[in-house]
Structure 1
Amino acid sequence: MSSSIIDFIATEARFGAQNYAPIGVVLSRGEGVWVWDTDGNRYLDCLSAYSAVSQGHCHPKILAAMVEQAHRLTLTSRAFHNDQLALFYEEIAALTGSHKVLPMNSGAEAVESAIKSVRKWGYEVKGVPDGQAEIIVCANNFHGRTLGIVGFSTDPETHGHFGPFAPGFKIIPFGDAAALEQAITPNTVAFLVEPIQGEAGVVIPPAGYFTKVRELCTANNVMLVLDEIQTGLGRTGKLLAEQHEGIEADVTLLGKALSGGFYPVSAVLSNNDVLGTLRPGQHGSTFGGNPLACAVARAAMRVLVEEGMIENAARQGARFLEGLKDIRANTIREVRGRGLMLAVELHPEAGRARRYCEALQGKGILAKDTHEQTIRIAPPLVITSDQVDWALERLATTLTQDFS
């Protein structure tokens, strides 16, 4: 590690809050699936900024849209109309089949907005007594880090010493439809769930789970809210992960890849009258739906479709998953994945996944550990077959490495 990299890291440690534990690399440039550090070393990005850079680093068409719009108009607030918002609404609705759109900035803001909206719908449409609305969530969920969200997390690191928390949430096991059925009451307004639990280690529910979930929510007049902030926009080889079981959520949350990594953009999408309960002054965001964000998101969605990135994610994801399963290493407990959302879970006796990620850095791959024993692999959706094979060779060498 060069002195310049050490200096950057030391300065961060001196002035910055210690709320992350990044891998020891300082990046300065990116293009496609590749990033370069300040010393000029090249790495294959297998995290994609937690799927925010799905279209690849610095995609030229998204960049051009951002620069063009930045020269024209960046922010008006929602006190006035702008000429990009209506087009963004029209295009994202056409792409996803949604009826109503609420633009926000971060994924966590989208989740908070959905919580407010389904509660309001519960009181004004379903007829739940005021203050009694219940939302069901899953254990090991990750929906963001705001105070409202961490209150229903089951990860002690996420919620410890941040209380007191807001009531109104029930926690059930992920992938257990019977548990959902038992948890629903007349006051239940929504079931908030990730199609695949990303931060938990790419945990995929049993086949047929979401078909049953959809049936239960419909039968009990409960809004199914799918957090597709990581899984959406092609990451799993479909536009939305819900399509793997042929269902439709009542409310869908998008973020991350919605801007191709250029700008924070998120959206709450509704296929029913949930968002119709909001009135002027009841919810908003100064930057939500700003013209720069809308122009960037429009370009990000366009290249995703026009350049076949979703189909490529399915194709290369299958290749990557098969290659990972072919690695014969005593360290591997399980390989999981759908599309280009993949994970290698290690046996506890293999040691923490962090040291394998650090070893991969030395071989030109940047991946990230989660929950101590799992390596997440999520490269940009523009990855090629040759690049997948290149990564698999280095992963195989690393996962069979003796760290004793």
Structure 2
Amino acid sequence: MNGEPVSSTENPTAEFIAAAEAHSAHNYHPLPVVIATAEGAWMTDVAGRRYLDLLAGYSALNFGHGNRRLIDAAKAQLERVTLTSRAFHHDVFGRFCAELAALCGMETVLPMNTGAEAVETAVKTARKWGYRVKGVPDNMAKIVVAADNFHGRTTTIVSFSTDPEARADFGPYTPGFEIVPYGDPTAMRNALTENTVAVLVEPIQGEAGVLVPPAGYLSTVRELTRKRNVLFIADEIQSGLGRTGRTFACEHEGVVPDVYVLGKALGGGVLPVSAVVSSAEVLGVFRPGEHGSTFGGNPLACAVALEVIAMLRTGEHQQRAAELGEHLHRELAALAAGAGSGVQRVRGRGLWAGVDIDPARGTGRQISERLLAEGVLVKDTHGSTIRIAPPLVIAEEDLDWGLERLRRVVG
């Protein structure tokens, strides 16, 4: 039965957790579960108990655990060649770049590995474009970002974070960034100067609690950046590749940015794959030796990402996210409207929701632990908020099963 043990063997969870706590840095505080196997939207721990995954690796697992198309693509490439470095060409690279560029409606791809690497690459791209193309004086380039952003955890990226946990004790910080309130077009307009080279925003802020900006915000940012000759960089690492019911969250406002930053689902949950995608003019500012990555664009990554692109081209997963997303938000809205409900607010788009829990019912961590006991895996953020982002392949009946456990915990 879903959420119940399927094995009577002694639970070895504590042993695994003790080993991890003893020998790994404590930069994470995982829920007390140890996963051994997974398939689709379900995960099984070392004791044989099954859990419904409503996190999907922060959207890295949009296509589910163990997706056969992705696993088969990886296996086939493993038998051929896995790494050449960019010192040499390989026979999957050109096709990957061409097909990802086409999916984005762009021309040129610069592949990396992690999302943070891709954001760093976008920052470097914007600065070099600002100096080489826009004519900004040396070392004067400015990038405008939004408060409550989450773009990664490198030193440069935390320099423009407003999250004390991400930022504290990591200075001195990298200059050149201005932070404005998210969703405020007036503040954005006032921040743009002749030395502004880019605006970097998430179309939906994921780590902040799945915050959807006011209608028209993205199109206003697009208009402002176009008028001021500023690059509009959309960080679609979490929001992109089907999560919101469209290939890219920017599409909900009919917006095409100058630069897409992609990651997470691009690797299908099989391995890290990220990329910066833009025009030939923008990415053409790089010359050999000015930026790179040993593993970026490796054959194995390209083979898996090509299969991801092929699945997205059909539109099937985007449609499923849109349809199931409507169901998800309808059910969550009904839960929030119920008498005595512990749900205060719900936000999101597609198969992605931030759920604010009445603090009197518990912190987000406590709610996550109670759901864990019910066989459901979610993750908290910022106090009493939990995030729901199941694999796009989840069955509607399984989604309803998970939502019923949420009602049981907070209703």
Instruction: Give the TM bin, normalised by the shorter chain.
Output: over 0.9
Q: Distance in 2 between matches of 1:339 and 1:208?
A: 18
Q: Distance in 1 between matches of 2:323 and 2:395?
A: 10
Secondary structure, counterpart of 1:273 in structure 2: helix
Q: Which residue of 1 aligns with 2:376?
A: 365
Please point out which of 186, 194, 203 is paired with 2:202: 194
Q: Distance in 2 between matches of 1:374 and 1:288?
A: 35
Specify whether residues 218 and 181 from structure 1 end up closer, same or farther in structure 2 by C-alpha distance, changes over 3 A only: same
Shift of the alpha carbon at 1:382? 0.5
Two-structure CA RMSD over aligned residues (Å): 1.2
Q: Which residue of 2 aligns with 1:49?
A: 57
Q: Distance in 2 between matches of 1:78 and 1:182?
A: 42
Report 1:31-180 matches (<5 A): 31-180=39-188
Q: Distance in 2 between matches of 1:389 and 1:92?
A: 34
Aligned partners of 2:107 and 2:278 also within 8 Å: yes
Q: Which residue of 1 aligns with 2:319?
A: 311
Specify whether residues 56 and 305 from structure 1 end up closer, same or farther in structure 2 by C-alpha distance, changes over 3 A only: farther
Secondary structure, counterpart of 1:326 in structure 2: helix
Please point out which of 26, 32, 35 is paired with 1:24: 32
Q: Distance in 2 between matches of 1:3 and 1:47?
A: 24
Report 1:335-350 matches (<5 A): 335-350=346-361
Unaligned runs of 5+ in 2: none
Higher deviation after alignment, 295-304 or 145-154: 295-304
Aligned partners of 2:361 and 2:410 also within 8 Å: no
Amino acid at match of 1:357: S
Secondary structure, counterpart of 2:12 in structure 1: helix
Secondary structure, counterpart of 1:258 in structure 2: helix
Please point out which of 283, 286, 291 is paired with 2:294: 286
Higher deviation after alignment, 146-155 or 272-281: 272-281
1:333 aligns with 2:344: yes
Q: Which residue of 2 aligns with 1:356?
A: 367
Q: Which residue of 2 aligns with 1:389?
A: 400
Aligned partners of 1:55 and 1:304 also within 8 Å: no
Aligned partners of 1:250 and 1:272 also within 8 Å: no
Q: Distance in 2 between matches of 1:299 and 1:179?
A: 41
Shift of the alpha carbon at 1:346? 1.6
Q: TM-score scaled by structure 2?
A: 0.95
Secondary structure, counterpart of 2:51 in structure 1: strand
Secondary structure, counterpart of 1:36 in structure 2: strand
Q: Deviations over 1:321-365 (max 9, x none)?
A: 100111124322101110011111123333201111111111111
Q: Distance in 2 between matches of 1:39 and 1:318?
A: 35
Identity %: 53
Q: Which residue of 1 aligns with 2:274?
A: 266
Aligned partners of 1:61 and 1:303 also within 8 Å: no
Q: Deviations over 1:134-155 (max 9, x none)?
A: 0000111000011110111001
Secondary structure, counterpart of 1:29 in structure 2: strand
Specify whether residues 140 and 337 from structure 1 end up closer, same or farther in structure 2 by C-alpha distance, changes over 3 A only: same
Q: Runs in 1 of length 4+ with deviation above 3 angstroms?
A: 304-307
Shift of the alpha carbon at 1:272? 5.5
Aligned partners of 2:128 and 2:285 also within 8 Å: yes
Report 1:185-264 matches (<5 A): 185-264=193-272
Q: Distance in 2 between matches of 1:144 and 1:350?
A: 30
Secondary structure, counterpart of 1:43 in structure 2: strand
Q: Deviations over 1:219-271 (max 9, x none)?
A: 00010000000000000000000000001000000000001100110000003
Unaligned runs of 5+ in 1: none
Higher deviation after alignment, 167-176 or 90-99: 90-99
Amino acid at match of 2:359: P
Aligned partners of 2:209 and 2:354 also within 8 Å: yes
Q: Distance in 2 between matches of 1:221 and 1:268?
A: 19
Q: Deviations over 1:384-404 (max 9, x none)?
A: 22122212211111112xxxx
Aligned partners of 1:249 and 1:271 also within 8 Å: no
Amino acid at match of 1:395: L
Shift of the alpha carbon at 1:303? 2.5
Amino acid at match of 1:171: I
Q: Distance in 2 between matches of 1:360 and 1:348?
A: 16
Amino acid at match of 2:100: I
* Aligned length, in residue pairs: 400
Aligned partners of 1:360 and 1:395 also within 8 Å: yes
Secondary structure, counterpart of 1:231 in structure 2: coil
Aligned partners of 2:267 and 2:273 also within 8 Å: yes
Q: TM-score scaled by structure 1?
A: 0.97
Higher deviation after alignment, 242-251 or 320-329: 320-329
